[in-house]
Amino acid sequence: MVVGTLHGFDQFMNLVVDNTVEMNGNEKNDIGMVVIRGNSVVTVEALEPVNRT
């Protein structure tokens, strides 16, 4: 599982995520900015409310 800040996406649900942390059990690994292919996305969840200005 990865957690981070969503920066963008496209029509194929490819995601650009920044400040990304990979979590595997009790291990956490900071991996920075990543592109996640849409076909590997199982779920997307907002962990905090989104504030639009």
Domains in the chain: boundaries: 2-40
Evaluate whether the domain defined by 2-40 bears CATH number 3.40.50.2300. no
pTM (predicted TM-score): 0.79
Report the pLDDT value the prediction gives residue 38, as an integer from 0 to 100. Answer: 94
CA dist., res. 24 & res. 8, Å (int)? 24
Report the pLDDT value the prediction gives residue 47, as an integer from 0 to 100. Answer: 78
Backbone angles phi, psi at 48, to 5 degrees: -135, 155
The answer to whether residue 50 scores a pLDDT higher than 80 is no
The answer to whether residue 45 scores a pLDDT higher than 90 is no
Task: With cut-offs at 50, 70 and 90, classify the pLDDT of residue 29.
Answer: very high
Report the pLDDT value the prediction gives residue 20, as an integer from 0 to 100. Answer: 96
The answer to whether residue 22 scores a pLDDT higher than 90 is yes
